[in-house]
Structure 1
Amino acid sequence: MELPTPVKGPLIIKKRIFALVGLLSIALICIGIYTAIRVRDTNVWLTDSAVRTRDLLTAVDTARMAQVHFKMQVQEWKDVLLRGADPDLYETHFTAFRNEEGTVKELMVNLKTLLGAMQVDTRLVDEFVAAHEDLGRRYRHAIEQYDRGDPASGFAVDRMVRGIDRLPTTAIDAIVAYMRGATRTDIDLQQTLTEAKVARDRHFVQGISVLIASAVLLALFFALTIIAGLRSPR
Protein backbone atom coordinates (compact mmCIF):
# COMPACT_ATOMS: atom_id res chain seq x y z
CA MET A 1 0.00 0.00 0.00
CA GLU A 2 1.43 3.37 -1.05
CA LEU A 3 1.70 6.15 1.50
CA PRO A 4 0.04 9.46 0.52
CA THR A 5 2.42 12.12 -0.74
CA PRO A 6 2.68 15.01 1.77
CA VAL A 7 1.06 18.21 0.60
CA LYS A 8 3.82 20.81 0.46
CA GLY A 9 1.71 23.65 -0.90
CA PRO A 10 0.41 25.03 2.42
CA LEU A 11 3.87 24.80 3.98
CA ILE A 12 5.46 26.73 1.13
CA ILE A 13 2.73 29.35 1.30
CA LYS A 14 3.28 29.78 5.04
CA LYS A 15 7.00 30.26 4.48
CA ARG A 16 6.35 32.84 1.81
CA ILE A 17 3.89 34.69 3.99
CA PHE A 18 6.26 34.64 6.96
CA ALA A 19 9.08 35.88 4.73
CA LEU A 20 6.89 38.65 3.36
CA VAL A 21 5.73 39.70 6.82
CA GLY A 22 9.31 39.59 8.08
CA LEU A 23 10.67 41.73 5.25
CA LEU A 24 7.86 44.24 5.62
CA SER A 25 8.38 44.37 9.40
CA ILE A 26 12.12 44.95 9.00
CA ALA A 27 11.48 47.70 6.46
CA LEU A 28 8.95 49.43 8.72
CA ILE A 29 11.26 49.14 11.73
CA CYS A 30 14.14 50.69 9.77
CA ILE A 31 11.88 53.49 8.57
CA GLY A 32 10.65 54.06 12.12
CA ILE A 33 14.16 54.20 13.56
CA TYR A 34 15.38 56.60 10.89
CA THR A 35 12.31 58.79 11.33
CA ALA A 36 12.84 58.88 15.10
CA ILE A 37 16.45 59.95 14.57
CA ARG A 38 15.37 62.72 12.22
CA VAL A 39 12.73 63.93 14.66
CA ARG A 40 15.24 63.88 17.52
CA ASP A 41 17.82 65.82 15.50
CA THR A 42 15.20 68.38 14.50
CA ASN A 43 14.07 68.83 18.10
CA VAL A 44 17.66 69.26 19.28
CA TRP A 45 18.34 71.81 16.56
CA LEU A 46 15.17 73.78 17.32
CA THR A 47 15.95 73.72 21.05
CA ASP A 48 19.51 74.96 20.47
CA SER A 49 18.20 77.68 18.17
CA ALA A 50 15.65 78.80 20.75
CA VAL A 51 18.29 78.84 23.50
CA ARG A 52 20.66 80.93 21.37
CA THR A 53 17.91 83.41 20.54
CA ARG A 54 16.98 83.63 24.22
CA ASP A 55 20.61 84.22 25.21
CA LEU A 56 21.04 86.91 22.56
CA LEU A 57 17.93 88.72 23.75
CA THR A 58 19.18 88.43 27.33
CA ALA A 59 22.51 89.90 26.22
CA VAL A 60 20.72 92.83 24.57
CA ASP A 61 18.72 93.47 27.75
CA THR A 62 21.89 93.23 29.85
CA ALA A 63 23.74 95.71 27.64
CA ARG A 64 20.77 98.07 27.70
CA MET A 65 20.52 97.91 31.49
CA ALA A 66 24.25 98.59 31.78
CA GLN A 67 23.80 101.61 29.52
CA VAL A 68 20.97 102.95 31.70
CA HIS A 69 22.83 102.38 34.97
CA PHE A 70 25.98 103.99 33.58
CA LYS A 71 24.03 107.13 32.73
CA MET A 72 22.57 107.06 36.24
CA GLN A 73 26.09 106.73 37.65
CA VAL A 74 27.23 109.83 35.75
CA GLN A 75 24.13 111.71 36.90
CA GLU A 76 24.80 110.79 40.52
CA TRP A 77 28.34 112.14 40.12
CA LYS A 78 26.94 115.44 38.89
CA ASP A 79 24.52 115.52 41.80
CA VAL A 80 27.43 115.02 44.20
CA LEU A 81 29.07 118.16 42.84
CA LEU A 82 25.83 120.15 42.71
CA ARG A 83 24.46 119.22 46.14
CA GLY A 84 27.54 118.01 47.97
CA ALA A 85 27.72 121.06 50.22
CA ASP A 86 25.04 119.34 52.30
CA PRO A 87 26.75 116.41 54.09
CA ASP A 88 23.64 114.24 53.96
CA LEU A 89 23.08 114.86 50.26
CA TYR A 90 26.76 114.30 49.58
CA GLU A 91 26.61 110.90 51.25
CA THR A 92 23.32 110.03 49.54
CA HIS A 93 24.53 110.82 46.03
CA PHE A 94 28.04 109.44 46.44
CA THR A 95 26.61 106.19 47.81
CA ALA A 96 24.23 106.05 44.86
CA PHE A 97 27.19 106.75 42.55
CA ARG A 98 29.09 103.78 43.98
CA ASN A 99 26.02 101.54 43.79
CA GLU A 100 25.39 102.39 40.15
CA GLU A 101 29.06 101.84 39.39
CA GLY A 102 28.91 98.40 41.01
CA THR A 103 25.76 97.51 39.08
CA VAL A 104 27.41 98.47 35.79
CA LYS A 105 30.43 96.30 36.59
CA GLU A 106 28.23 93.35 37.51
CA LEU A 107 26.20 93.69 34.32
CA MET A 108 29.38 93.82 32.25
CA VAL A 109 30.62 90.61 33.85
CA ASN A 110 27.30 88.94 33.06
CA LEU A 111 27.33 90.27 29.51
CA LYS A 112 30.85 89.04 28.83
CA THR A 113 29.95 85.62 30.21
CA LEU A 114 26.89 85.44 27.96
CA LEU A 115 28.80 86.52 24.87
CA GLY A 116 31.67 84.19 25.62
CA ALA A 117 29.30 81.24 25.91
CA MET A 118 27.87 82.12 22.49
CA GLN A 119 31.37 82.67 21.03
CA VAL A 120 30.58 86.31 20.27
CA ASP A 121 33.43 88.83 20.14
CA THR A 122 33.80 90.60 23.52
CA ARG A 123 36.31 93.29 22.55
CA LEU A 124 33.72 96.07 22.80
CA VAL A 125 32.90 94.93 26.32
CA ASP A 126 36.59 94.93 27.24
CA GLU A 127 36.98 98.44 25.85
CA PHE A 128 34.07 99.73 27.88
CA VAL A 129 35.25 97.99 31.06
CA ALA A 130 38.68 99.60 30.72
CA ALA A 131 37.17 103.04 30.06
CA HIS A 132 34.73 102.61 32.94
CA GLU A 133 37.50 101.65 35.36
CA ASP A 134 39.53 104.68 34.30
CA LEU A 135 36.47 106.90 34.76
CA GLY A 136 35.98 105.66 38.31
CA ARG A 137 39.63 106.27 39.22
CA ARG A 138 39.61 109.79 37.81
CA TYR A 139 36.33 110.67 39.50
CA ARG A 140 37.67 109.50 42.86
CA HIS A 141 40.88 111.43 42.38
CA ALA A 142 38.90 114.55 41.50
CA ILE A 143 36.54 114.27 44.47
CA GLU A 144 39.53 114.51 46.78
CA GLN A 145 39.85 118.12 45.62
CA TYR A 146 36.23 118.89 46.49
CA ASP A 147 35.74 121.43 49.27
CA ARG A 148 32.23 121.40 50.65
CA GLY A 149 32.70 124.79 52.21
CA ASP A 150 33.57 126.43 48.90
CA PRO A 151 30.55 127.01 46.60
CA ALA A 152 32.87 127.23 43.60
CA SER A 153 34.60 123.94 44.39
CA GLY A 154 32.01 121.86 42.56
CA PHE A 155 32.61 123.80 39.35
CA ALA A 156 36.37 123.46 39.72
CA VAL A 157 36.15 119.70 40.20
CA ASP A 158 33.75 119.43 37.29
CA ARG A 159 36.28 121.17 35.03
CA MET A 160 38.91 118.62 36.09
CA VAL A 161 36.87 115.69 34.77
CA ARG A 162 34.75 117.38 32.13
CA GLY A 163 34.23 115.15 29.09
CA ILE A 164 35.88 112.03 30.50
CA ASP A 165 32.54 110.21 30.39
CA ARG A 166 32.42 110.50 26.58
CA LEU A 167 34.67 107.51 25.90
CA PRO A 168 32.76 105.01 28.08
CA THR A 169 29.46 106.49 26.85
CA THR A 170 30.51 105.91 23.25
CA ALA A 171 31.69 102.42 24.16
CA ILE A 172 28.46 101.37 25.89
CA ASP A 173 26.37 102.85 23.07
CA ALA A 174 28.44 100.84 20.59
CA ILE A 175 27.84 97.66 22.60
CA VAL A 176 24.07 98.18 22.61
CA ALA A 177 24.01 98.98 18.88
CA TYR A 178 26.20 95.98 18.09
CA MET A 179 24.10 93.59 20.18
CA ARG A 180 20.86 94.80 18.63
CA GLY A 181 22.26 94.40 15.12
CA ALA A 182 23.82 91.01 15.85
CA THR A 183 20.61 89.75 17.43
CA ARG A 184 18.50 90.90 14.50
CA THR A 185 20.90 89.27 12.04
CA ASP A 186 21.03 86.04 14.03
CA ILE A 187 17.25 85.85 14.38
CA ASP A 188 16.83 86.39 10.63
CA LEU A 189 19.42 83.68 9.96
CA GLN A 190 17.76 81.26 12.37
CA GLN A 191 14.40 81.93 10.72
CA THR A 192 15.87 81.21 7.28
CA LEU A 193 17.52 78.01 8.49
CA THR A 194 14.34 76.93 10.26
CA GLU A 195 12.27 77.43 7.12
CA ALA A 196 14.82 75.43 5.11
CA LYS A 197 14.83 72.65 7.71
CA VAL A 198 11.04 72.53 7.81
CA ALA A 199 11.00 72.25 4.02
CA ARG A 200 13.54 69.40 4.13
CA ASP A 201 11.56 67.62 6.82
CA ARG A 202 8.37 68.04 4.81
CA HIS A 203 10.06 66.45 1.81
CA PHE A 204 11.36 63.71 4.08
CA VAL A 205 7.87 62.96 5.38
CA GLN A 206 6.56 62.89 1.83
CA GLY A 207 9.34 60.50 0.86
CA ILE A 208 8.63 58.26 3.85
CA SER A 209 4.94 58.23 2.94
CA VAL A 210 5.78 57.16 -0.61
CA LEU A 211 8.16 54.51 0.72
CA ILE A 212 5.57 53.07 3.09
CA ALA A 213 2.93 53.10 0.37
CA SER A 214 5.35 51.33 -1.97
CA ALA A 215 6.11 48.73 0.69
CA VAL A 216 2.40 48.09 1.25
CA LEU A 217 1.75 47.81 -2.48
CA LEU A 218 4.71 45.48 -2.85
CA ALA A 219 3.42 43.33 -0.02
CA LEU A 220 -0.01 43.29 -1.61
CA PHE A 221 1.52 42.28 -4.93
CA PHE A 222 3.41 39.38 -3.36
CA ALA A 223 0.32 38.33 -1.43
CA LEU A 224 -1.74 38.26 -4.61
CA THR A 225 1.02 36.34 -6.35
CA ILE A 226 1.02 33.75 -3.58
CA ILE A 227 -2.76 33.47 -3.70
CA ALA A 228 -2.66 33.14 -7.47
CA GLY A 229 -0.09 30.36 -7.15
CA LEU A 230 -2.29 28.62 -4.63
CA ARG A 231 -5.30 28.72 -6.94
CA SER A 232 -3.46 27.67 -10.09
CA PRO A 233 -4.19 24.09 -11.19
CA ARG A 234 -1.54 21.52 -10.34
Structure 2
Amino acid sequence: MKSIKAKLMTSVLIGLFSILIAALISVFILRSLAKDFDNVINQELDSREQVNKVLSNFKIQVQEWKNILIRGHDATQYKKYVSRFTEKETEIQNDLVSLQTKGYLPTKLRNQISELQAQHKELGKQYREGLVLFENAGFNTQAGDKAVKGIDRPVVAAL
Protein backbone atom coordinates (compact mmCIF):
# COMPACT_ATOMS: atom_id res chain seq x y z
CA MET A 1 0.00 0.00 0.00
CA LYS A 2 2.78 2.36 0.85
CA SER A 3 4.18 2.09 -2.61
CA ILE A 4 0.86 3.13 -4.20
CA LYS A 5 0.52 5.95 -1.68
CA ALA A 6 4.12 6.99 -2.35
CA LYS A 7 3.58 6.85 -6.10
CA LEU A 8 0.41 8.91 -5.77
CA MET A 9 2.10 11.48 -3.54
CA THR A 10 5.06 11.64 -5.90
CA SER A 11 2.72 12.21 -8.85
CA VAL A 12 0.83 14.93 -6.95
CA LEU A 13 4.08 16.61 -5.88
CA ILE A 14 5.45 16.50 -9.42
CA GLY A 15 2.18 18.00 -10.68
CA LEU A 16 2.26 20.77 -8.07
CA PHE A 17 5.93 21.43 -8.77
CA SER A 18 5.17 21.65 -12.52
CA ILE A 19 2.36 24.12 -11.84
CA LEU A 20 4.69 26.18 -9.63
CA ILE A 21 7.40 26.23 -12.33
CA ALA A 22 4.83 27.22 -14.99
CA ALA A 23 3.51 30.00 -12.73
CA LEU A 24 7.04 31.33 -12.09
CA ILE A 25 7.85 31.27 -15.80
CA SER A 26 4.59 33.12 -16.50
CA VAL A 27 5.45 35.79 -13.91
CA PHE A 28 8.88 36.35 -15.46
CA ILE A 29 7.40 36.54 -18.96
CA LEU A 30 4.74 39.01 -17.80
CA ARG A 31 7.41 41.15 -16.10
CA SER A 32 9.43 41.19 -19.30
CA LEU A 33 6.37 42.13 -21.36
CA ALA A 34 5.43 44.87 -18.90
CA LYS A 35 8.97 46.26 -19.08
CA ASP A 36 8.88 46.20 -22.89
CA PHE A 37 5.49 47.91 -22.84
CA ASP A 38 6.85 50.59 -20.49
CA ASN A 39 9.74 51.17 -22.88
CA VAL A 40 7.37 51.57 -25.82
CA ILE A 41 5.21 54.02 -23.88
CA ASN A 42 8.25 56.01 -22.73
CA GLN A 43 9.60 56.16 -26.28
CA GLU A 44 6.22 57.33 -27.55
CA LEU A 45 6.01 60.00 -24.87
CA ASP A 46 9.58 61.11 -25.55
CA SER A 47 8.84 61.43 -29.26
CA ARG A 48 5.63 63.34 -28.66
CA GLU A 49 7.41 65.65 -26.24
CA GLN A 50 10.13 66.32 -28.79
CA VAL A 51 7.56 67.01 -31.55
CA ASN A 52 5.73 69.40 -29.21
CA LYS A 53 9.05 71.11 -28.50
CA VAL A 54 9.65 71.52 -32.23
CA LEU A 55 6.16 72.96 -32.69
CA SER A 56 6.62 75.35 -29.77
CA ASN A 57 10.02 76.48 -31.04
CA PHE A 58 8.60 76.95 -34.51
CA LYS A 59 5.86 79.18 -33.16
CA ILE A 60 8.50 81.15 -31.25
CA GLN A 61 10.56 81.41 -34.45
CA VAL A 62 7.54 82.83 -36.31
CA GLN A 63 7.00 85.26 -33.43
CA GLU A 64 10.64 86.35 -33.71
CA TRP A 65 10.00 87.03 -37.40
CA LYS A 66 7.08 89.24 -36.41
CA ASN A 67 9.34 90.99 -33.91
CA ILE A 68 11.81 91.65 -36.73
CA LEU A 69 9.03 93.23 -38.78
CA ILE A 70 7.67 95.31 -35.90
CA ARG A 71 10.92 96.43 -34.31
CA GLY A 72 13.43 95.91 -37.14
CA HIS A 73 13.69 99.59 -38.01
CA ASP A 74 15.96 99.93 -34.94
CA ALA A 75 19.37 98.38 -35.79
CA THR A 76 19.89 96.97 -32.28
CA GLN A 77 16.44 95.39 -32.19
CA TYR A 78 16.88 94.11 -35.73
CA LYS A 79 20.11 92.33 -34.84
CA LYS A 80 18.60 90.94 -31.62
CA TYR A 81 15.52 89.42 -33.27
CA VAL A 82 17.35 88.11 -36.33
CA SER A 83 19.74 86.36 -33.94
CA ARG A 84 16.84 84.84 -31.99
CA PHE A 85 15.12 83.81 -35.21
CA THR A 86 18.29 82.06 -36.41
CA GLU A 87 18.85 80.37 -33.03
CA LYS A 88 15.34 78.90 -33.09
CA GLU A 89 15.84 77.76 -36.66
CA THR A 90 19.02 75.90 -35.68
CA GLU A 91 17.38 74.41 -32.60
CA ILE A 92 14.44 73.14 -34.65
CA GLN A 93 16.74 71.58 -37.24
CA ASN A 94 18.77 69.86 -34.50
CA ASP A 95 15.61 68.53 -32.84
CA LEU A 96 14.34 67.17 -36.16
CA VAL A 97 17.68 65.42 -36.76
CA SER A 98 17.46 63.96 -33.26
CA LEU A 99 13.95 62.67 -33.95
CA GLN A 100 15.08 61.06 -37.21
CA THR A 101 17.76 59.07 -35.42
CA LYS A 102 15.27 57.42 -33.05
CA GLY A 103 15.60 53.82 -34.20
CA TYR A 104 12.30 52.80 -32.68
CA LEU A 105 10.27 55.13 -34.90
CA PRO A 106 8.72 53.51 -37.97
CA THR A 107 10.45 54.25 -41.27
CA LYS A 108 7.36 56.04 -42.58
CA LEU A 109 7.42 58.43 -39.63
CA ARG A 110 11.17 59.04 -39.96
CA ASN A 111 10.60 59.84 -43.65
CA GLN A 112 7.88 62.33 -42.71
CA ILE A 113 10.27 63.96 -40.24
CA SER A 114 12.90 64.15 -42.99
CA GLU A 115 10.38 65.85 -45.30
CA LEU A 116 9.47 68.25 -42.50
CA GLN A 117 13.12 69.07 -41.99
CA ALA A 118 13.51 69.83 -45.71
CA GLN A 119 10.36 72.00 -45.64
CA HIS A 120 11.70 73.89 -42.65
CA LYS A 121 15.06 74.47 -44.38
CA GLU A 122 13.26 75.78 -47.45
CA LEU A 123 11.14 77.97 -45.23
CA GLY A 124 14.32 79.44 -43.76
CA LYS A 125 15.48 80.38 -47.27
CA GLN A 126 12.13 82.02 -47.97
CA TYR A 127 12.29 83.98 -44.72
CA ARG A 128 15.78 85.17 -45.63
CA GLU A 129 14.50 86.31 -49.04
CA GLY A 130 11.72 88.12 -47.21
CA LEU A 131 14.32 89.67 -44.93
CA VAL A 132 16.16 91.08 -47.94
CA LEU A 133 12.90 92.49 -49.31
CA PHE A 134 12.14 93.96 -45.87
CA GLU A 135 15.56 95.65 -45.77
CA ASN A 136 15.32 96.87 -49.38
CA ALA A 137 11.89 98.36 -48.66
CA GLY A 138 13.41 100.52 -45.93
CA PHE A 139 12.27 98.19 -43.14
CA ASN A 140 8.65 98.50 -44.22
CA THR A 141 6.61 96.08 -42.12
CA GLN A 142 4.00 95.46 -44.80
CA ALA A 143 6.63 94.63 -47.44
CA GLY A 144 8.30 92.12 -45.13
CA ASP A 145 4.99 90.56 -44.15
CA LYS A 146 3.77 90.32 -47.73
CA ALA A 147 6.96 88.50 -48.75
CA VAL A 148 6.33 85.59 -46.38
CA LYS A 149 2.60 85.68 -45.77
CA GLY A 150 1.24 82.18 -45.11
CA ILE A 151 4.47 80.29 -45.87
CA ASP A 152 4.58 78.81 -42.37
CA ARG A 153 1.19 77.08 -42.63
CA PRO A 154 2.37 73.83 -44.32
CA VAL A 155 5.03 73.29 -41.65
CA VAL A 156 2.54 73.88 -38.84
CA ALA A 157 0.12 71.46 -40.51
CA ALA A 158 2.86 68.84 -40.85
CA LEU A 159 3.73 69.16 -37.17
TM-score (norm 1): 0.58
Asked if 2 retains the 8 angstrom alpha-carbon contact of 1:69 and 1:100, the reply is yes
For each residue in 1:154-183, what CA deviation from the matched residue of structure 2 results, as whole angstroms up to 9, or x when unmatched? 4323322222212212211xxxxxxxxxxx
Structure 1 partner of 2:158: 171
CA shift in 2, pair 1:170/1:97, >3 Å: same
Identity %: 27
Q: CA RMSD in A?
A: 2.5
| Number of equivalences | 158
- 1:74 positional shift: 0.9
Asked if 2 retains the 8 angstrom alpha-carbon contact of 1:85 and 1:151, the reply is yes
Shifted more, 158-167 versus 31-40: the winner is 158-167
CA distance in structure 1 between the aligned counterparts of 2:137 and 2:40, rounded to whole angstroms = 55
CA distance in structure 2 between the aligned counterparts of 1:80 and 1:151, rounded to whole angstroms = 9
Structure 2 partner of 1:117: 104
Residues 71-110 of structure 1: pairs in structure 2 closer than 5 A: 71-110=59-98
Matched to 1:170, the amino acid is: A
For each residue in 1:94-147, what CA deviation from the matched residue of structure 2 results, as whole angstroms up to 9, or x when unmatched? 111112112222332333344x40436314323321211100112223323443
- 1:149 positional shift: 8.9
Work out whether 1:29 is the aligned partner of 2:6: no
Matched to 2:33, the amino acid is: W
* Unaligned ranges ≥5, structure 1: 1-11, 173-234
For each residue in 1:11-43, what CA deviation from the matched residue of structure 2 results, as whole angstroms up to 9, or x when unmatched? x73x55554444333323322221111111111
CA distance in structure 2 between the aligned counterparts of 1:150 and 1:160, rounded to whole angstroms = 14
Shifted more, 86-95 versus 124-133: the winner is 124-133
Structure 1 partner of 2:143: 156
Asked if 1 retains the 8 angstrom alpha-carbon contact of 2:72 and 2:139, the reply is no
Matched to 1:80, the amino acid is: I
Q: Secondary structure at the match of 1:85?
A: coil
Asked if 2 retains the 8 angstrom alpha-carbon contact of 1:85 and 1:149, the reply is no
Specify the structure having the higher radius of gyration (Cα): 1
* Unaligned ranges ≥5, structure 2: none
Structure 2 partner of 1:40: 28
Q: Secondary structure at the match of 2:135?
A: coil
CA distance in structure 1 between the aligned counterparts of 2:154 and 2:50, rounded to whole angstroms = 20
CA distance in structure 2 between the aligned counterparts of 1:101 and 1:90, rounded to whole angstroms = 16
TM-score (norm 2): 0.81
Asked if 2 retains the 8 angstrom alpha-carbon contact of 1:135 and 1:164, the reply is yes
